[in-house]
Amino acid sequence: MAKTVLVSSCLLGLPTRYDGTDNYSQAVIDYLRQENLIPIPVCPEQLSGLPTPRPKCWFTKGDGEAILNHCGAICDESANNVTEAFYRAAEETCKIAEMTGSSLAILKQRSPSCGSQKIYLNEQITAGIGATAARLKRAGLKLLSEEDLEPK
Ligand code: SF4
């Protein structure tokens, strides 16, 4: 039976990015077809109730692990603290992983929610994990990004 996989909805071409655009990735689509996987599109930030378009956000303290441990912070471009929304986003997305029995997630790199290896900390790209990616990893999911699937 084909397996389900959570996929950042913006990678599938859905206009869920903060600026109302998408991050369509042909490499992700090709991988899903090649592996006969059923994508479950998720946008953690929309699941948390944040609007689209929405202000750009980045970490101001720690990374996704720190958010889960209640010692990190994420702010929007107007310096509003939006940490709680990103925590909620992680929890809601994890519920979908559990509901669908997904053991793999393909997530957009560098997002404060979806980044699996890189994030923005105070507008600078740095090594770290997004809040939802960290939550899914804690739940035992394997994480891939579009960068892992693109031809080198
Ligand atoms: Fe894409 Fe994730 Fe940002 Fe939603 S939260 S737009 S799925 S990177």
**pLDDT tens by residue, 17-47:** 999 999 999 999 999 999 999 999 999 999 9
> How many Å apart are CA 70 and CA 64, to the nearest integer?
10
Ligand 1 atom 4, closest CA: 43
Q: What pLDDT does 151 receive?
A: 86
Confidence bin at 121 (pLDDT 50/70/90): very high
Q: How many CB atoms lie within 10 A of CB 102?
A: 23
Whole-number Å distance, alpha carbon 8 to ligand 1 midpoint, is 6
**44-57 exposure pattern, b = at least 16 Cβ within 10 A, e = fewer:** bbbbbebeeebeeb
Residues paired with 39 in a beta bridge: 5
Cβ contact 54:16 at 8 Å? no
> How many Å apart are CA 100 and CA 58, to the nearest integer?
29
53: preceding bond cis by omega (within 30 degrees): yes
Q: Quick: pLDDT tens for 93-112.
A: 999 999 999 999 999 999 99
Name 136's Cβ contacts closer than 8 Å, sequence gap at least 6: 6, 90, 93, 94, 97, 105, 107, 143
Q: What pLDDT does 18 receive?
A: 98
Q: What pLDDT does 39 receive?
A: 98
Whole-number Å distance, alpha carbon 152 to ligand 1 midpoint, is 23
Q: What pLDDT does 1 receive?
A: 76
Cβ contact 49:71 at 8 Å? no
Q: Quick: pLDDT tens for 34-82.
A: 999 999 999 999 999 999 999 999 999 999 999 999 999 999 999 999 9
Whole-number Å distance, alpha carbon 73 to ligand 1 midpoint, is 18
- Looking at residues 118-132, what average pLDDT do you find? 97
Q: Determine if ligand 1 sits within 6 Å of the CB of residue 16.
A: yes
Q: What pLDDT does 2 receive?
A: 82
Q: Determine if ligand 1 sits within 6 Å of the CB of residue 10.
A: yes
Checking if the pLDDT of 118 tops 90, the result is: yes
Percent of the chain with pLDDT over 90: 97
Q: Determine if ligand 1 sits within 6 Å of the CB of residue 4.
A: no
> How many Å apart are CA 146 and CA 7, to the nearest integer?
10
